[in-house]
Structure 1
C-alpha cells in the first residue's frame, strides 16, 4: 500500500471511529436533558460551560450548542452575556404545562384512535402489560425501579398516540411531557406513589381499543389533572429554592 493510500485509509477509519459533530451535540443534549429532567441539575442552577465541558468530556462549543437546543425545549434559560441556567419550576408553570398537555395529548390520542390499525392495538396492549409488571410498591425504596417505571409509563403513553400523524402536535406534546417529568422527579423522594394509576391506565387503554375517543380523551385529561394535584403538594422551598 502506498503512502497516499495509507493516509486515505487512515482518514476513513478516523471518520468512522469519531462521531460527527451533529451526533455529538445530540448525545450531549440527550445527557443534559436527562440530568435536568431527573433533577440531577436542579432548578435555577447555573450551567457553567467549562464545568459542563469537563463533566461530559466534550468541547465548549458542543456544550453551547446542546444548551441552545435545551433553551428551545424550555428546560434551560439563556441570560445573554451571563450564560445559562436550568429553567425554574413553580406551581404556575406546572399549571400551564398541565393545561397545554391535556390539549396536545387528547388531540394526538383522538387522531391515533381514528387511524390506528391492528399493529397499533397490539402495541398499546404490549406496552400496558409491560408497565403493569412493575411493582409500584418498590418505587420509593429503589430509584432504579422508579426510573424503569417512568420509562415504561412513557412507552405506554407513546404507544397510545403512535398512530397520530400530526408532527406539530407530537413535537409540542414531547416538549410538554419532558417539562412535566421534572416535577415527577422532584416529587419521587417526597410523595408516595399515587394510588390508582394502574387502573387509570387500563381504563384509558380499554376506551382507546374500543375506539371510544371521547371517553379515552376524558379519562386522559383526568389522569393528567390528578398528576397535577399530586405534584402541587411538593413543598414550596423545593419548587422554588430561590
Structure 2
C-alpha cells in the first residue's frame, strides 16, 4: 500500500528543503566576507535578501549557529560570528591536526581512483588564477581550492573526520577571504599545492603531513600579519 505524505508533512519537507537552500546561501555570504563579522542578522532584511519565509530562515540560522558561523543572543536575535586572533589560532591548530590525519589515512588507504581524482582536482585548481583583476579572491578559485583539499582527504575512510574538517575549512576560508581585502603578499601557493599533491601520489605520508602543515601555518601567519582592520570587523555597533 502506497502511503502519501499529509499536507502537514509536505509543508515540513518543503520547509526543510528551503532551510537547506538558504543555509547554503547564507553560509556562502558569510564565508566570502559579504556578510561581515559581528553584523546583526535582522529577519526582515534576510527575508527580503533571500526571498524566503520566517520558518526556513530561522531553521537555517540555527544550523549555522551549530557550525559556529552565526551566534544567537538571548532576546537580541542573531549575528555573524565575530573573528579574533585567538579564534584563528584555535581554528588553525585543529585544521592542521585534522587535515594531516585525513591526508595520512588517505595516502594509506587511497586507490587508483583516488590518485586520479587528486591529479584531476589539482589540474582544475592550477588552470585558474587566484585573484580577480580587482585584487579580490576569485570565487571559482576558492571552490576549486576547497575541492582539492577535500579530494586529498576523501580516501581517509572516516565520515566524521571529513565532516569536522569541512566545518573547519569553512571557518578558515572566512578568515582568508576577509584577509585578502586588506593584505597583499607574494606567495607561490600553486607550488605549495603541487608539492602536497606529489607527496600524496608518491605515497609519502611523512612528507605530505609536513607539507600540508607548513601550508596551513604559512596561511595562518599571513592572516595574523594582516592589517588590524580585519580584526576590527566584529565591532557590534
Q: TM-score, length-normalised on structure 2?
A: 0.89
Q: 2:15 is matched with which residue: 10, 15, 21? A: 21
Once the two structures are superposed, residues 102-161 of structure 1 have per-residue CA deviations (whole angstroms, 9 ceiling, x without a partner) of: 01111111111111111100000011111111134x535365x71111111111111111
Structure 2: gaps (5+ residues):
none
Determine whether 1:149 maps to 2:141: yes
Asked if 1 retains the 8 angstrom alpha-carbon contact of 2:117 and 2:151, the reply is yes
Report the Cα distance in structure 2 between the residues aligned to 1:118 and 1:79, rounded to whole angstroms. 49
Determine whether 1:77 maps to 2:71: yes
Partner residue, 2:167: 175
Q: Secondary structure at the match of 2:171?
A: helix
Partner residue, 1:198: 190
Q: Secondary structure at the match of 1:81?
A: coil
Divergent runs of 4+, >3 A: none
Partner residue, 1:3: none
Partner residue, 1:48: 42
Residue range with higher mean Cα deviation, 193-202 or 167-176: 193-202
Matches within 5 A, 1:1-242: 20-136=14-130, 138-141=131-134, 143=136, 146-192=138-184, 194-241=186-233, 242=235
Asked if 2 retains the 8 angstrom alpha-carbon contact of 1:104 and 1:173, the reply is yes
Deviation at 1:189, TM superposition (A): 2.4
Report the Cα distance in structure 2 between the residues aligned to 1:237 and 1:195, rounded to whole angstroms. 22
Q: TM-score, length-normalised on structure 1?
A: 0.88
Asked if 2 retains the 8 angstrom alpha-carbon contact of 1:140 and 1:146, the reply is no
Q: CA RMSD in A?
A: 2.0
Question: For the pair shown, which has the larger CA radius of gyration, 1 or 2?
Answer: 1
CA 1:135–1:55 in structure 2 vs 1: closer, same or farther (change >3 Å)?
A: closer
Once the two structures are superposed, residues 10-55 of structure 1 have per-residue CA deviations (whole angstroms, 9 ceiling, x without a partner) of: x9xxx7xxx8221111000000000101111110000111211121
Q: Secondary structure at the match of 2:221?
A: helix
CA 1:47–1:122 in structure 2 vs 1: closer, same or farther (change >3 Å)?
A: same
Report the Cα distance in structure 1 between the residues aligned to 2:109 and 2:15, rounded to whole angstroms. 38
Higher helix share: 1
